[in-house]
Every structure is written in structure tokens, then in C-alpha cells.
Structure 1
């Protein structure tokens, strides 16, 4: 009796003293039908957050604005590591973790074991499907952790499907994860086909062959002009300027571009990648995949990972302030509307959930910034690398101590250091002390510091989250803001500064509230949020937290 009384009092104490716990308790029972039939992850390659606000008045009601009006807008969403590249970005979005854990430290990196550069999705053990070239020898084998689509496949006993689609192989492969049913990417050149890898299949499905044999891709080899009168494109700079690259065979980087004429000098069908039409091709293929792969047709949740890459190619070529980038986003908005309408029709409105984000943003063209008196500039990477080598020869009597310099990292020849009976920490520290004296080098750190200290704020914390002990270099360095190792035209990315880290994040559809927040969110929160929505395990390396305030 006494035991029961004490137990009851303790229960009352718990109820009245733990309001936070009570607040999140739900009386709703689990219902498999409450899950979306399809999750669509959309990544816009190189999309700055301010493209939403700069071009807002040019967008229609069915694309970006539909996500704003019906979904949840996280306005202060950032990358929480360096480097902000395509491979690491796509991996981080879907794994919920950073290069420190998932291991995709760049698009390409120097492999310290085999002593040569490797590509993030390259896999010589695979064969191409859909082409006789090496372009399909790909897989996600270098990504160490699971994605939320992997966890969904495991949860559904492999009955929930996963399909990845992109212009870029890495944009299709890394999001789809290790257990995907399929990943498809664009092979341009003389074909204009979508291809895959034997990692997923031995032959392309009939629906892909039908798409490849249709006239869809070839139909975009036409003039690319602005969708609306160019005079109304007041949200971007002059069409004719000194800050853009353009295409071979055309004297100026200005509208219009006759793609059928220019294709011969610009890689055949590859020219489409660097135009707004590349995104349209991806939308066409994704819509075809809904039916071809029978996505979202039962109560087992499927995942469709779509990456629009042409925004990145256009940004690299023409820059973030170009008429070309404005037109690309105006047209992308219409492609998103087409995709959402197809989802409404083929899956059913209320049966699917979408998130949209970017793999990184981009810097304004430094030469343009210089013209308006903002500090910016260019780094001579070759001269810098030679200076590293010369210093090592003077300091340690040999030029063989540096094996590789790439991705703002220096890889030392550890065997040579041991042979010369040098202390690795001393060599790293000496190089840091040298590099920090160079013009336009803002920060430099040793691998020892990254491995042995804990950084919680600033660029140091971002570098540490991007540092993988087995794969990263011996010394990491950071350029001054808006200083890049790149050509004098077009934009690039890779830093931990706001112009590279601040990207959109929308959720909308089944299970999502309508609202917005300026609370800071991070891309590593996306995968745990989708896992929470689906009631599945978080990806095994996830460090992000579910964004409870977006979930209905």
C-alpha cells in the first residue's frame, strides 16, 4: 500500500515538475498512412539565398513562391563546415553530417595512401551503363556513412525505392546513398543521354531508353534568349561587361546564344549544361521517372533525389550578378512549377513531401567587387605552390617534403620526413608560420591542431567539421574574404564565409507546417528532420537535429 502511494506521488511530481516533457508528448497513435508516399529532395547547385529575394518579383506562383506560401521557409540556413563544394554539399544534406565523418572532403582530393588524386564518386571496379566511355564508372563507395534514403530502404525492408537524378554524377549518386535502386546522370558530348553504373543495374530500363531516344534533349539546342524583355531584368548587372566568360565561337558573353551553332565548339550536347535549358532537361527526366519508376504509388515511402546542376555551370561561367543567372532562375522557377504539378497529378497533392536547398552558394566576381571598391582579388596558385616548395628546401634542405597542394591543403611526404628524422609537428608548424606571412592568406592551421583541439566557433570550427583525419592534409589555409584562386571571369565557391554558406531551405507538403523562421539552421539538420518525419533511424553519422518547428 505504502509503495503504491509513494509511486503515485512520484508520478504526480513528474507530471507537475516537467512541463517541457509534457509539452512534446503526443496522444496521436502511429499511422503508416500519415507518412508521405514520396519524399522529393531538391538541391539547386550554387544557389545563394538572396536569389529568392532578388528575383522574387519575376517568379510565378507555382514554383519558389508555392513553397513559401504553402511550406516552411528557413531563412537563415547555413553550411557548418569548409569546404563548400558540390560533392561534400550533396553528401552532407543527405547524411546529416559533415566531411569529418562522411569522408567526402572535396570533389577531388589527394589520396595519401595511393599517392594520387581521386574523384569523390569514381569507381574503377564498376562499368558504365548506357555509354561505352568511362563516364559511368561511378559509385558512392567513398562515402563512409548512410543517407536518410538508405535508412528508409532499411526500414522498409528494401521495398521503399530510392532514385537519384542530376546533370552531375555526384549530384545523383551521393544523395541516393549506398542502397539506391538507381542513379542517373547526363552524358552530353555527342549523345545527350542519361546514363548509370553497374553499381545499380546492368542495363538501362525501357523508360530511360525511350527518353534517350526521344527528341527531348535535342529540342533544347536552340537559341537561348531571355524569357522576358531583357530591359526588365533590373535585378542583375549589364549584359555586356568584363566579368563574364561566355562560350567559344561567340565574341561577347551577351544574349542571345544560338546553342545549335555554338555546340560544335563547346562540347556538343555539353553546352546545354551551362544554360538554363539544362535544368529543364532534369525536370523533364524527373517527371518521366515518376511514372517510369512508379514512385509514390503505394504506402511504402519512396525517395526521389533531384539535383539541378546547370545553375552552377551558369554561375561559374557568367557570375552571380549576370543577366544569364537571372534568366536561369526565372526559368528554373517554371521548371519547379512543372515538377510540382506532375507530383500533384501522379502522386497526389497531400501525398508527398518536398525539401529544397543548395549544396553551396557563391561569391560575387572579385573583379566586379574591385570595380565597386570592395576588397577582393585573385590568388596565383602556381606561384604560391612554388613558394611553398622553395621554403621547404631552404628550411629543411629538400624539395621532396611536399607531395601535393590542393583544396587549400598541403599534404606532406611523411615517409621522407621520417627518413630525414624530422618531427612531423615541427614541419607542419614551420609551414603554418611561413604561409601565414603570405599576402591574402587569412588563416593557417596544422592537422595536429585540427585533431587535438576542439573549436566551437569561427572559421576554425568550420574547418574542423570539414577535416577528416585520414583523408585531409597536414596544413590547412584560408584566403582573405573574396580572394579566390580562379579565373578573372565568373564566380566560384568553397569558403566558410556567408556568401558561400547561406543557402535556401524550404520544406513543404505532407507533414509540414506553414511558416518561416530566422532562427539559424544548418544543412546537417535536413536528414534528421526527414528521418523524424518518416519515423525511421537517423543516418548513422548524423550530427544535425530534427527541426521540430517545421513538422506538423
Structure 2
């Protein structure tokens, strides 16, 4: 009997990977495609190239029903949820920006005045800024606002300094969120097209970074055009190129192909709104792999690549546009190029790939209106507050000035004024929330006191709001748009805004591929908090400190 048990143990140990295997991957490659809704890769499946999405489908476990578990589906929220396996209520990144009551201002999620931009290369050109969340008063960036460890932090703890940990992105928040507290991060600068960092990571750049930046790869597109990859007749949206509501006129990018990059102050920003920045990001990442020796020994390394073009293109043109369709075709080819390089340098059989997204996106309200849907765009900063003002004065003796800031999805109240007047925050916020609920386009307005006290009905939507609630950073009232309506704020030029708890915004792909994985398509629902937990169990290391997800057994218990 003992021999039988021993033999069975050997068979089991050799049949399942990686729980019982000693051969860990040389590289964990985590790819986050900004604003890649779960269905979008399949919208161009008949035009997939060899080695891109097709490789992921043929060589991995594809979860077709993955969703983010939180309400505010924004970039930093989704990235940190993927990197920590924690809810925003725990990891603390409740939005791309939030109001800090101590500083009495809106703060950017990763700004840190203790640091500066490495080499003086700023992340953003303020004169051409189109991202309204970039409200930082400092050029410094750091992960200090992330309240838990990340998967990459736990890799550093488990494997020590020999494990190389890097993150590259078109956006600063797309890199810092994944590199964690122990890695190194680089991101694209809309100031001069270089890749930059923060003195939190580097006081001076490695020489290879200086040499790469000196080549000025981004400048090659000046006065050039974004042209269609294929014949326009082969596109689903080939007949919908000229839509007047796409792309604001002031950028000089046009709303039909070919799109001119020009040479204006918006030039480096316009590269973000095309496939170019993703291609630059991958080229920079390939140089990093070569110069830093990523995946070249038996100690597992980590590389995060966050691709930002899909998000910018989606914001300006919408996911149901010819521009988004062409960008997806270019994304597929870009992934194929990256995987081919990884195969040459590390070996795909030695690399565990996980690809997901920080959030999805809706079809634009303007496009839906053309189809007869009763939807619209609602600027919450331009609402008529006269009724609220009258009721506040009658009931509490104060007016609309008690509303400190409206920054979707939150309404922030003047807590100091409420305290000085001896008023009850719960009573004031409840009255204001009740009035916001009467506005056409707003489905729900939940007060943070009701969220904190468990006074909301238990529904999928309220659970996502609760998962987004952090008492130190969340606003006093949480607004949720009616499905397919768009909530915006003054100064936001985007055609499309994500950030809701509706399925089009929470839906993302989750794909594990490479190493020893076999093809599987899974339709049962999973959560993005499962990603970091699964990676941790795959490497048999401690999960991040706030992780609450479940290990995905379809990835972990695969027969060889």
C-alpha cells in the first residue's frame, strides 16, 4: 500500500503544473491594455495576425466573463486592483483624483511632492494637457498612496534583489501602479516624447535610457498621418468615419482618416490618441529587456507593460468607431511583435503572460442618440442648483456653497462649514443626494454615511459602491449615471467617459498564457481581484497584503 501511495504521489506531482512543479517561469509579463472591454479583441478576430490575440487564445486560459468589482472604473482604480488583488476600499485608490480635505484641493492619485521628475523630464506638458485628472502640483510620482503591497512587492520580498521588477506605460499611473514600492517605473512624456520617471525610482537615468531618449523616436511622425492599416472597405465602421461629434476641433487631429499629427503643441499628446504611443512603449520595453537582462536567469523577473492608446482613442472617438477598430488591428500586431521578441530573448515557454484591462467603455451617448436611445451627456458642474440652494437655506440655514466640489463620481461637501454651523453631515448629505436623484440622467445618489453604516440595499451596484468606499478619500455623495448616459465635468473634452458600475465599464478580458498553460475558454464569471492571488499562488509566494480574490484553478491545476 505504501508503494502505491508513493507512486500515486509521484504521478500527481508530475501531472499538475505549477502547484507541484519546481520550474517557475523566468518572467512574469503582465500586460494591461487601457480601456479594452472584454468583447473588443473578438471584434477584429477575422483580422487577427499570427502571434497576437491568436497566440493568447491558442496558448492560454481566456476568461470571457471577467469584471472589475468596484463602481468607479477609472485607470488608477483598475490598475491597482489588478496589481494588489484588493478592493479600492482597501488599496485606497478610489479615483484618478480625489479631494484632500487637509490640503483643501483636488489631488492626483500618484503625485508626491517629496520627489521630482528624473532628469527634469516632466510626465505631462501642461499647455497641451487633455487629461482633466492631471491636477498634480508636483512633478514627483511615487506609489506611496497605494495602501497595500502589490504582487510585484511580494515578488521582491520572496525572491530578493536578484528579481528584476519593472513597469513601462504610456501613462505615469499605468506604470507606478504596477511597479509597486520595490520596482522601477518608466512612462511616456507628452512634453517631449521621451520616457521618463521619478526621483523615487532614479536620481539619474541608466545610460541606456538616455541613449534611447536621445534617438527621439517620437519625432519621426511629425507632419505625418495616422493612416488606415487596411482598405476601408474591410472595416465594420468604414461607413462611419465622418461623425461630427468625434474629436474636439481644437486639437487639430480631425475626425476622419488620415489624421494629421502635425507639429503643434499637441503633437506629443496626439501620439497618445493613436497607435503610435503603444508601439513606442513596446519598443522601449524591448530595450529594457535587452539592457537590464530581463528573464535571463532562474530567478523570476517581473515586467508590466501598460498600453494606453486604446484609452485615448476611445475617449476621443468612442469604442464603436473606425479609429478604435484600426487601433485594435494595430494593437494585435503590436502584441505579436512583443511576443515574438519575448520568445527570442526569454522563450514564451519560460514566460507567464497575464493580459487584462483597467476598465471597459460605453458606446458614446451621441452615437446612441443617433440610434434613437433617450440618453445624453450630463455635466454635473453645470447643473442648476437653485432648488437645492433654496431647500438648504430653508432647512439648514446654509446654501449651495456647502457643495465644495463636484468631481465625478463624487460630490464633496464643505465639512468644515457644516461643523461650524453645528449641522449633521448625514442630514445635509441626505437632502442633497435626494435632490440629485431627481436629475434626469442620474440613477442613484448614495451618501457615504449610508455606505459606511450599511444602510443600502444589497444589490450588485451597491456592492460595487461599497467596494469603492474608503473613508479617508471617498466623497460625501456617490453619483451613478443612468445606463448609457455620460457624466462629465467642466473642462473634460472626452467624447466617451467610463467610470460607471455598469457592465460595459466593468467588463475586461483576463487571459493567462505561455509557460505550461493549455488552451481553455472559460465563461463563468470571475473578478479582477483574482488575478494577483492567482499569480501569487502560481509562484507559491505570499499574496499582496490586501488581496481578497480567489486563486483561479483553471490556471493553477492544469494537466501537462
Q: TM-score with structure 2 length normalisation?
A: 0.89
Matched residues in 1 for 2:34 and 2:247: separation? 19
The structural deviation recorded for 1:235 is 4.8
Question: Does residue 35 of the first structure (1) align with residue 24 of the second (2)?
Answer: yes
SS of aligned partner of 1:503 = strand
Partner of 1:312: 311
The structural deviation recorded for 1:533 is 0.6
Matched residues in 2 for 1:209 and 1:292: separation? 12
Q: Which moves more between the two structures, 41-50 or 447-456?
A: 447-456
Matched residues in 1 for 2:379 and 2:216: separation? 44
- 1:49 corresponds, among 38, 41, 49, to 38
Question: 1:515-530 to 2 correspondence within 5 Å?
Answer: 515-530=520-535
Q: Which moves more between the two structures, 520-529 or 51-60?
A: 51-60
Question: Does residue 441 of the first structure (1) align with residue 442 of the second (2)?
Answer: yes
Question: Does residue 137 of the first structure (1) align with residue 137 of the second (2)?
Answer: no
Question: Does residue 538 of the first structure (1) align with residue 549 of the second (2)?
Answer: no
SS of aligned partner of 2:363 = coil
Partner of 1:209: 210
The structural deviation recorded for 1:403 is 2.0
Matched residues in 1 for 2:89 and 2:212: separation? 39
Question: 1:65-464 to 2 correspondence within 5 Å?
Answer: 65-131=54-120, 133=122, 136-180=139-183, 182-189=184-191, 191-221=192-222, 222-235=224-237, 238-245=240-247, 248=250, 250=252, 252-259=254-261, 262-264=262-264, 266-384=265-383, 386-387=385-386, 388-389=388-389, 391-399=391-399, 400-453=401-454, 456-464=458-466
Matched residues in 1 for 2:93 and 2:251: separation? 37
Question: Does residue 493 of the first structure (1) align with residue 467 of the second (2)?
Answer: no
Matched residues in 1 for 2:391 and 2:273: separation? 40
Q: Which runs of 5+ in 1 are unaligned?
A: 1-14, 16-21
Matched residues in 2 for 1:511 and 1:530: separation? 14
The structural deviation recorded for 1:95 is 0.4
Partner of 1:478: 480
CA contact (8 A) 1:46 1:315 kept: yes
The structural deviation recorded for 1:134 is 7.1
CA contact (8 A) 2:381 2:406 kept: no
SS of aligned partner of 1:272 = helix
Matched residues in 2 for 1:146 and 1:251: separation? 41
Evaluate the alpha carbon distance shift between residue 236 and residue 542 of structure 1 in structure 2; reply closer, same or farther with a 3 A threshold.
Answer: farther
CA contact (8 A) 2:253 2:270 kept: no
Matched residues in 2 for 1:134 and 1:195: separation? 7
CA contact (8 A) 1:129 1:198 kept: yes
The structural deviation recorded for 1:407 is 2.3
Evaluate the alpha carbon distance shift between residue 232 and residue 134 of structure 1 in structure 2; reply closer, same or farther with a 3 A threshold.
Answer: closer
Matched residues in 2 for 1:451 and 1:121: separation? 25
The structure with more radius of gyration? 1
The structural deviation recorded for 1:504 is 1.0
Residues 376-431 of structure 1 deviation map (CA, whole Å, 9 limit, x = unaligned): 21113223274555543343222342222212222222232222222222222222
The structural deviation recorded for 1:246 is 5.4
Matched residues in 1 for 2:251 and 2:422: separation? 56
Matched residues in 2 for 1:348 and 1:251: separation? 40
Q: Which moves more between the two structures, 507-516 or 132-141?
A: 132-141
Residues 253-283 of structure 1 deviation map (CA, whole Å, 9 limit, x = unaligned): 1011232xx231x523222111111111111
CA contact (8 A) 1:240 1:252 kept: no
Residues 100-126 of structure 1 deviation map (CA, whole Å, 9 limit, x = unaligned): 000001111101222111100101110
The structural deviation recorded for 1:230 is 1.2
Q: TM-score with structure 1 length normalisation?
A: 0.91
SS of aligned partner of 2:312 = helix
Residues 454-491 of structure 1 deviation map (CA, whole Å, 9 limit, x = unaligned): 76532101100011112111221211111112479722
Question: Does residue 504 of the first structure (1) align with residue 509 of the second (2)?
Answer: yes
CA contact (8 A) 2:533 2:543 kept: yes
Matched residues in 1 for 2:39 and 2:339: separation? 22
Matched residues in 2 for 1:334 and 1:293: separation? 25
Matched residues in 1 for 2:547 and 2:517: separation? 21
Evaluate the alpha carbon distance shift between residue 134 and residue 477 of structure 1 in structure 2; reply closer, same or farther with a 3 A threshold.
Answer: closer
CA contact (8 A) 2:228 2:257 kept: yes
Matched residues in 2 for 1:122 and 1:32: separation? 41
Q: Which moves more between the two structures, 345-354 or 416-425?
A: 416-425
Matched residues in 1 for 2:434 and 2:444: separation? 10
CA contact (8 A) 2:123 2:188 kept: no
Matched residues in 2 for 1:204 and 1:102: separation? 29
Matched residues in 1 for 2:324 and 2:292: separation? 32
